[in-house]
Chains A and B, each alone.
Chain A
Amino acid sequence: MIVFAVILAFPLYWIVVTAFKEPTEVFSMIPKWLPEKWTLDNFKEVFNIIPFGRYYFNTILYAFGLLAVQLITVTLAAYAFARMDFRFKKILFMILLVQLMIAPQTLIVPNYMTISNMGLLDTKTAIALPYVASAIGVFLLRQGFAAIPRELEEAATIDGCGTFRFMISIAIPLLKPTYLAFTLISVTYHWNEFFWPLIVTDSVKARTLTVGLAMLAEASESAAAWTLLMAATLLVILPLIVFFAIFQKTFISSFMQSGMKG
């Protein structure tokens, strides 16, 4: 158990210590477990070389802006699938779930053409559009909405509560944990997204952190840049690791519930 933990945790430890090392320390033939002299220069250097602040801003705007839109589309669809009757419901739900199996990178060619035709290349909107419909979100919330007892809705209806009022003031507040789970999954997934943003973005104004990290790696081929790269990598993952540390239980159980990625 401990052996596995050490092996799996080692890379994280290694980025952290390397990010604080002097660039020359990397060249030691015997790896140093701790930096000889702890330094923040690598982090300063990252912000000097590439517009990391801008990439942070782009990523946050993209991930949370998309989440805001998803919350609306997902809530509506999930509520319909859970508590309303309509024709082709089962088939439509299957059609929606197919999305879970096709990652956006598989459809880069036609989706790139669509985005290009719309004149949206190199925008944050372009990165977000393919994810507005979220099968995983509908899947999670549908289970939640379906679990709300009929009697509660009937009682509310007798009290003169319409569908929308029931949704907003009763159903949605009951599903807070499910919404938190979906938020964690969505934000993590989009923070981490790499290939699709790489294809549709072309400049500093739209690029996300992961794409920025790749640009930095390409620009610095020399081995001396490793401390710098590790500092940049640490900056990319730090918010996630902090979030994960705070919400670890919710994180793990929400991935367990979802049973699928996306």
Chain B
Amino acid sequence: MKTKTKKKILPWLFIAPTFFFLGMFTYYPAFRSLFLSFMRMNMATPEPVFTGLDNFKRAFSTPLFWQVAGNNLFYAFVTVPITMALALALALLVNQKIFGSSFFKTTYFYPNVIPMAAASMIWLYIFLPGYGFLNYLLGKIGIPSIEWVSDSRFAMWALIIVAIWKNAGYYMVIFLGGLQQLPTEIYEVATIDGASAWRKFWKITWPLLSPTTFFAFIIAVINSFQAVDQIYLMTRGGPANTTNMFVYYIYQVAFKYWDFGYASALTVILLVLLLIFTMLAFFFMERRVFYESGERL
């Protein structure tokens, strides 16, 4: 009897610390944001006052909100496909078991290990107008010096370049994981049948790898919607808000204007977007488990 109750209670004791902190710093804050999003709470009104949907109405009628949303969408849907394509290309290159491939794997992966804060510093220096290295290279092919981070036409591209450089190696590793699970027999048969490398890629690798691709894509989109370090360090959302994105906008509203009510509404909007992407990912993971009938999740 005693061991039976012990068996019942023990797992709950084991998961208690994790769920206590998970509740306190992930779920409670999410619901608190929801609660505060219906309140006015700012410098003039430090105690929250119920104002219904005012904060959301304000967001949807503010041009800056739509600019931020547009910027973030543009950033995500330019960065993610390019990163994926590059990562897949790198994974295919490294996956050939040729001499030195592990050295190249390391070289491609290292940007993922260093902090975004450090990466931002390095790239600010490379982007420097005048004596920056990138402009020197562009000068060699006759392109005049570009003010990468302070010209509204180029600032977003500067952030995109940094993100691709930083993350390509990470997704390469995800693709490598996928590639190494593909059955080798199919390739052998295809080679005997005289299929070209190009054909093998589109007819075998690409379709069989699609679960990994989709999964990586969702994760990358989710990460893109939470990008902030490089924005803070390189552009401060500028010039003229052309690189302002969700998290940075929330930060500005909350910690520059101390408008916690409106910032909470923005947090809720971002959480809803993330939730949609997450549900797509989960739905998909379930399916993957089902089809592969393996132990993996």
Contacts and interface: CB of A to CB of B under 8 A. Distances in A.
Given A80-B11, A107-B33, A237-B114, A256 B174 contact: yes
Contacts of B14: 76-77, 79-80, 84
B107 A8 contact: yes
How many chain A residues sit at the interface, stated as a range, is 35 or more
B173 A255 contact: yes
B222 to A, nearest CB: 6
Interface stretch (A12-20, A43-51, A174-182): A12-20
Nearest to A89: B11
A168 interface: no
| Residue from A5, A79, A101, A112 having most chain B Cβ neighbours under 10 A | A101
Interface in B238-295: 247, 250-251, 254-255, 260, 263-264, 267, 270-271, 274, 277-278, 281-282, 295
Interface string A214-230: 10010000010010011
A209 B223 CA distance: 23
Contacts of A210: 115, 117-118
Contacts of B255: 112, 199
A106 B17 contact: no
Contacts of A58: none
Contacts of A4: 89-90, 93, 104, 108
A152 interface: no
A199 to B, nearest CB: 7
Interface stretch (B22-30, B65-73, B148-156, B183-191): B22-30
B128 A110 contact: no
Contacts of A29: 130-131, 136
Interface string B6-48: 0110111111011111101111111011001000000000000
Contact of B25 (A73, A114, A214): A114
A195 B228 contact: yes
A223 B128 contact: yes
Contacts, number: 260
A105 B226 contact: yes
A15 B293 CA distance: 48
Contact of B170 (A92, A194, A240, A261): A261
A81 B16 CA distance: 12
B263 to A, nearest CB: 5
A73 B233 CA distance: 34
A196 to B, nearest CB: 10
A155 interface: no
B294 to A, nearest CB: 11
A74 to B, nearest CB: 7
A252 interface: yes
Contact of B19 (A12, A133, A211, A244): A133
Contact of B122 (A14, A101, A109): A14
A77 B136 contact: no
Looking at chain A's contact residues, is the secondary structure mostly helix, strand, loop, or mixed? Answer: helix
A113 B247 CA distance: 16
A203 interface: no
Contacts of A92: 15, 19
B22 A96 contact: yes
B114 A261 contact: no
B25 A133 contact: yes
Given A31-B133, A114-B25, A214-B233, A9 B107 contact: yes
A129 B21 contact: yes
Given A76-B15, A195-B229, A259-B215, A18 B125 contact: yes
Given A92-B15, A109-B264, A98 B278 contact: yes
A172 to B, nearest CB: 14
A138 B117 CA distance: 28
B65 to A, nearest CB: 16
B136 A30 contact: yes
The 9 closest A-B pairs by CB, nearest first: A110-B29, A192-B115, A80-B14, A133-B21, A130-B25, A210-B117, A84-B11, A77-B18, A133-B22
28 contacts: A8-B108, A11-B119, A76-B13, A80-B11, A84-B10, A92-B19, A96-B22, A99-B26, A102-B271, A103-B223, A106-B250, A106-B271, A107-B26, A110-B32, A114-B32, A188-B113, A192-B114, A194-B232, A195-B232, A210-B115, A214-B117, A217-B233, A223-B128, A230-B121, A237-B118, A255-B173, A256-B174, A259-B177
Interface of B: 7-8, 10-15, 17-22, 24-30, 32-33, 36, 89-90, 93, 102, 104-119, 121-126, 128, 130-131, 133, 136, 165, 168-170, 173-174, 176-177, 215, 219, 222-223, 226, 228-229, 232-233, 247, 250-251, 254-255, 260, 263-264, 267, 270-271, 274, 277-278, 281-282, 295, 297
